[in-house]
C-alpha cells in the first residue's frame, strides 16, 4: 500500500510537471488558442446546420465555417485597422503642423461661455490656454502615437500575427469538426463529480456566448453607430472616435459618453448648435439606449453579474492580458461565481447549517 501511494504520488507529480511544461510551451499562442475556442463555440450552431445541409460532410462544413469567419470577422477587422491607422496618422500630422489648433479651440469655448461659467474658469486657474493645449494635446498625441506604434509593431511582426491567426483558424477548424469527441474526452479526464462537471461545462459555454454577444457585439454596434453619427456630422476622424467609443463601452460605469459628451458640448459652445443638439439626442437615445435594448435580447439573464464585478473583472483583465482580458476577465468572474454557487448548493456543511436554522 505505501508503495502504491508513492507510485500514485509520483505519477501525479509527473502529470503536473508535464502539464505546466505544455502550458509554458503554448504560452506565446495563448491569445490565439483562447480566440480559437471562442470562435468555435460561437460558430458551432452554424457548423451543425451546414453539416446537416451537406449530408454529414464534416470537413466541408468546417471549411465553410472558417471561410465565413474570414469573411465576417477577419477581413472587416483588417479593413477597419488600415482605415484607423490612416485616420490616426492624418490627425497626428494635423496636430503637429498646427492645422488643428487646440489653443484656439479652448479660446472659442471660453468666449462662448456665459459670465458665471467664465468666472469659474478664471477662479479655477484655467486661463493658460497654452498650458491647456499642451496638456490635452500631449494626451491626444500619446494616444495617436500609441495607435501608430501598435500598427507599426504589427507591420514589423506580420509573420507572428499571421502565425497567431493561422493557429486560431486551424484550431477552430478542428474544434468545429471534432468538438463533440474532444468535449467527451475532456469530460472523462476531469476529476469532478459528473453532475457538477456537466453543469460547469454548460455554464462555461453559456458564459462565453453571453460575454461575446453582450460585450463585443454591443460594443461594435455602439462604436459603429457613434462613428456613423460623427461622420454624418462632419467630425474629423470618425473611425477613430467610433473605435474609442467601442472600447469605452466595454468598461461599465464609463461607457461611450466619455467620448461624445465633450464633443457635443464643444459643438454647442462654439456655435454649432444644430450639430451639438443632434449629437446629444443621438448620444442619449441611439448610442446610449443600444446597450439597454440589445444586451437583454442577446444575453438574457443567464450570466447576469453585479456591475461592480463586471467592472473589476474587465479592468483587471485589461491590465493583465490586454484586449484579450476584456473577454477572459468577465468569463473568469462568471465561472468564479458559478463555482461558488455550486458549492453553496451542494456542500453538506452549508446544507446542514441551513437545515438546522
The answer to whether residue 327 sits within a structural domain is: yes
Residues 129 and 247 in one domain: no
So what's the pLDDT on residue 357? 47
So what's the pLDDT on residue 101? 59
| Alpha-helical segments (H) within the chain | 2-26, 30-53, 58-69, 75-97, 102-112, 115-123, 129-156, 158-189, 194-211, 218-232, 238-249, 257-269, 273-282, 288-299, 307-321, 324-346, 348-356
User: 137 Cβ partners below 8 Å, 6+ apart?
Assistant: 95, 102
CA gap 252, 189 in Å, rounded? 37
The answer to whether residue 107 sits within a structural domain is: yes
Residues 143 and 228 in one domain: no
3 state SS of 297: helix
So what's the pLDDT on residue 277? 92
Q: Which residue has the higher pLDDT, 335 or 351?
A: 335
Contact at 8 Å (CB) between 327 and 212?
Answer: yes
Residues 334 and 355 in one domain: yes
Residue 141 has pLDDT above 90, yes or no: no
The answer to whether residue 11 sits within a structural domain is: no
Question: Mean of the per-residue pLDDT values for the chain?
Answer: 77
Give the model confidence (pLDDT) of 17-32 as tens digits: 998 999 899 888 888 8
CA gap 96, 85 in Å, rounded? 16
What residues make up the domain containing 202?
192-357
The answer to whether residue 22 sits within a structural domain is: no
User: 261 Cβ partners below 8 Å, 6+ apart?
Assistant: 283
Boundary residue ending a domain (135, 155, 189) = 189
Give the model confidence (pLDDT) of 245-290 as tens digits: 888 887 766 788 888 888 888 888 777 889 889 999 998 888 888 8
pLDDT tier at 172, thresholds 50, 70, 90: very high
Residues 113 and 248 in one domain: no
Mean pLDDT across 329-342: 80
So what's the pLDDT on residue 66? 94
Residues 117 and 254 in one domain: no
Residue 232 has pLDDT above 50, yes or no: yes
Residues 97 and 175 in one domain: yes
pLDDT tier at 50, thresholds 50, 70, 90: very high
The answer to whether residue 20 sits within a structural domain is: no
Boundary residue ending a domain (168, 189, 210) = 189
CA gap 329, 317 in Å, rounded? 4
Residues 185 and 253 in one domain: no
So what's the pLDDT on residue 17? 92
Contact at 8 Å (CB) between 146 and 139?
Answer: no
The answer to whether residue 309 sits within a structural domain is: yes
Residue 151 has pLDDT above 70, yes or no: no
Residues 121 and 241 in one domain: no
Residues 201 and 348 in one domain: yes
Total domains present in the chain = 2
Mean pLDDT across 33-50: 90
Q: Which residue has the higher pLDDT, 236 or 305?
A: 236
**Sign for the pseudo-dihedral over CA of 87, 91, 96, 98:** positive
CA gap 7, 262 in Å, rounded? 67
Poorest-confidence range of 66-80, 272-286, 325-339? 325-339
Boundary residue ending a domain (189, 216, 242) = 189
pLDDT tier at 47, thresholds 50, 70, 90: very high
pLDDT tier at 321, thresholds 50, 70, 90: confident
So what's the pLDDT on residue 98? 64
Closest listed residue to residue 173, CA positions, set 302, 44, 336: 44
The answer to whether residue 16 sits within a structural domain is: no
So what's the pLDDT on residue 356? 47
How many residues comprise the chain?
357
Residue 106 has pLDDT above 70, yes or no: no
Residues 209 and 163 in one domain: no
Residues 198 and 158 in one domain: no
Residues 106 and 206 in one domain: no
Amino acid at each position: 500500500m505505501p508503495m502504491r501511494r508513492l507510485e500514485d504520488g509520483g505519477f501525479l507529480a509527473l502529470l503536473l510537471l508535464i502539464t505546466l511544461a505544455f502550458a509554458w510551451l503554448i504560452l506565446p499562442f495563448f491569445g490565439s488558442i483562447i480566440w480559437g475556442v471562442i470562435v468555435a463555440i460561437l460558430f458551432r450552431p452554424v457548423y451543425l446546420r451546414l453539416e446537416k445541409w451537406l449530408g454529414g460532410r464534416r470537413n466541408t462544413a468546417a471549411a465553410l465555417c472558417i471561410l465565413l469567419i474570414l469573411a465576417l470577422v477577419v477581413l472587416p477587422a483588417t479593413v477597419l485597422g488600415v482605415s484607423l491607422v490612416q485616420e490616426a496618422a492624418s490627425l497626428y500630422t494635423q496636430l503637429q503642423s498646427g492645422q488643428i489648433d487646440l489653443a484656439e479651440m479652448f479660446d472659442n469655448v471660453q468666449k462662448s461661455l456665459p459670465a458665471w461659467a467664465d468666472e469659474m474658469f478664471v477662479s479655477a486657474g484655467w486661463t493658460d490656454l497654452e498650458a491647456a493645449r499642451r496638456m490635452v494635446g500631449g494626451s491626444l498625441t500619446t494616444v495617436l502615437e500609441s495607435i501608430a506604434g501598435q500598427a507599426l509593431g504589427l507591420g514589423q511582426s506580420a509573420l507572428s500575427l499571421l502565425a497567431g491567426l493561422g493557429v486560431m483558424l486551424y484550431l477552430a477548424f478542428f474544434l468545429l469538426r471534432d468538438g463533440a469527441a474532444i468535449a467527451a474526452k475532456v469530460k472523462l479526464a476531469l476529476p469532478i463529480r459528473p453532475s457538477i462537471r456537466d453543469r460547469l461545462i454548460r455554464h462555461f459555454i453559456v458564459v462565453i456566448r453571453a460575454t461575446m454577444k453582450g460585450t463585443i457585439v454591443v460594443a461594435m454596434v455602439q462604436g459603429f453607430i457613434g462613428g456613423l453619427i460623427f461622420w454624418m456630422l462632419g467630425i474629423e476622424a470618425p473611425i477613430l472616435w467610433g473605435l474609442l467609443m467601442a472600447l469605452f463601452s466595454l468598461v461599465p460605469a464609463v461607457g461611450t459618453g466619455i467620448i461624445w459628451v465633450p464633443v457635443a458640448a464643444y459643438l454647442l459652445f462654439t456655435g454649432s448648435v444644430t450639430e451639438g443638439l443632434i449629437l446629444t439626442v443621438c448620444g442619449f437615445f441611439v448610442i446610449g439606449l443600444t446597450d439597454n435594448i440589445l444586451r437583454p435580447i442577446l444575453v438574457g439573464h443567464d450570466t447576469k453579474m453585479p456591475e461592480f464585478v463586471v467592472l473589476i473583472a474587465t479592468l483587471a483583465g485589461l491590465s493583465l492580458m490586454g484586449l484579450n482580458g476584456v473577454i477572459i476577465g468577465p468569463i473568469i468572474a462568471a465561472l468564479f461565481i458559478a463555482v461558488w454557487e455550486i458549492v453553496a448548493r451542494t456542500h453538506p456543511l452549508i446544507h446542514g447549517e441551513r437545515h438546522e436554522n
